[in-house]
Structure 1
Amino acid sequence: MAVSAVWKYDDRREDSEKSPIVQFSNGNLRNSQLVDFALYKNVDTNNPRKKHQRILVANTKRLCYSGSNFGPRASKCNTLCKYLVGVLNKETGKMEIHDAETFIMHPVFKGEKDSQDSSESPAKTYKEKVDSLIEAFGTNKQKRSLNARRLNQVGAETLHHAVTEAAGDLIEKKGIEALEDEIAKADNQEASSYIPPCYENAEKLKDVYSLDEIISPAEYEVLEIPSQIFRDIKSEDILKMIEEDRSPLSVIEGLKNLPTDTEVRDEKARILWYLNQLIRMAGQTIIKHTFFVSCPHLIKSTLRKNFTQLSYNTGRMIEIAKAMRLAIVKKSVALSGGILEDHRYGILQLPLVKYEKSGGKRKRKSMA
């Protein structure tokens, strides 16, 4: 016969002794025995706004977590509701009901300041947190990519320092004309600062540019949902896209040749969706808010930050292709009605193409 249980509300505990209900923001807790919890109370019991403030801290072997019932990181649960938690005594068949409050536990990283006092931008703080999570929980591939990016950053800073010192010595020796030459070189380098590192000694095409340095691991993860429409696309959907002229020809050609292997197809679909957003955005004179309706917030922030701050003259895309050491080829494409239209494509091939830098020393006008 089933044993009946009796509910008993524990009204002996004060409001300050509510039982905490914990939720981790970055995953689920597998074994609570491996976590040490500590609850801290505000000592200012006379202030009605502070006497109920609590901070819950959890320590594990790999990370530390903290949560609070106040501030921007507090749980968004309805304050008008009363939350209860029941503890069943299997021997007596009685369940004690206690008042409870929820805590959202966030990982705490070394050197991190409180979000209310920090003057850093949200994007930079988020990037540092993602890097720390990759260090703790990332795959070997993600960790190698993170180390490579940090080494490239150190190398770039060293190079910048060396260039600055060399420019100072050159200006001191040769005067204002040397300064003009250095400014012209700096303008050329500024255009390439938005291009990912190029490994020109690579033996395979796939190693010339690293995917992780073009699309970060965090961005790659959030592309899973919006790219599903490309991953599951059918031939009739591609024909409809061509008729409605909704996507660039390079994206449509890529969709026609999607591989059948599930993992490779998923990666290609995410890249094509990202490329489709880039090319569509390049064709916009003014980027409106509605353009990013179906775009994840992280991708939208990256596109707006990296690709909407510079304006180019005619031939924008060709100059970028040259800076990336791509070979420029012409190809006639058949449009509706049998009309042929010439297009130029940038193709990555080995050995990489070398282009002469445009713009030399300005010639002085002679006076008659």
Structure 2
Amino acid sequence: MAARAVWQYRGQPREGPDTVLMQFSNGKLQNSENVDFTLYKNNDTINPRKKHRRILVAETGRLSYMGSNFGTGVLKCNSLCSYFIGVLNKDSGKMEIFDAELFNMQPMFSDDLNESEAASENQAKTYREKVDSCIEAFGTTKQKRALNARRMNAVGSETLNIAVAKAVENIIDTRGVDALVSEATPDKLEEESVFLPPCHVDAAKPEDIYKFEDLISSAEYEALQIPSEAFKNITSEEILKMVQTNSHCSFVIEALKSLPSNEEVRDHKARCLWYLNTLIRFGFQRVIKRKSAVGQGIPHIINSKLLKNFTALTYNNGRVQNLISASMKAKIMAYVIALALHISDFQTDLTVLQRDMKLSEKRVLELAKAMRLKISKRRVPMGGEEEDHKIGILTLPLPIYQPANSQRKRKKMF
């Protein structure tokens, strides 16, 4: 009686099948002794989609072959069929059955290697470089022309920077660093005047020192008619609601309480107060992210003026933004003081404006002195108590402005 063979199923290991089957797409393997096989496993053993991924590489003296069980070139039969390999032990008559996986081995040519290198280079490119590559390949004539112009400008700016650097080196060699630093240091008075409203020091009247037209143009004044109607016809109940909700600055609220009854003067002050309140609210922002700088209901001419005169353009994350820097906030404060002088007969409470703008008292007083104001103290009732407030007065003749760093320190007497 012939001996019977008994087979035993080993099952599937936890790491996946250790036995592989392969077929070569361009022929049959005649001699396996001259082929080196390497099986690569995915290091990610937690992700259920990645832990079973395998790559089989076969290297010969002429070609290299590669097959994988994932990707676009994977065989569909792996998901429909199960493959097994049986190993017969002739001595014991037992056959061990192992799970196996079929790999389709395809030859790898130099073009494939170049494609992988190109893919890695493409990943290293920035988003702008990838967009430029797409424009070169598929862009319209107008887009290609704009791309060439931008690249020419970049080359021109780089050339200009190199030329400037060489010129600076030559000047430093001939004149020295100390002379350049002394000439490059700006005067404190000139630096302050950049952020101050135009000052007419030869004016004969206080209202002509900081002219109203330099603060609000005639076109802007006309545009303020409609939004300032709410201030012109305000009631005591609405003022009380402003105080409770803290929706407007304190200077504006106090001025609204004492609006004159004269129709023309009342309309003028209502427009000025509305613009002043808008300017202070505008100064609270840091980066302007939308076209409407302060909100809805702002006339376009006012919104454009705020963006143009009181913001600095910056470039961040590929976008141009309007930034209200510390110097621009000081400029806003200077224009607020000048407009408040016109509203309150050229005497304004600097302490109230300083609290509305949330600036330091030292900074506000330095701006007021740079604007040639006379600073005095006054006891002002606030909430049932009296406080010492700094009052800025615009009088003739104008006091001489002395920057803080130019004041001589007194010598200590021993």
TM-score bucket of the superposed structures, by smaller chain: 0.3 to 0.5
The structure with the larger Rg is 2
Higher helix share: 2
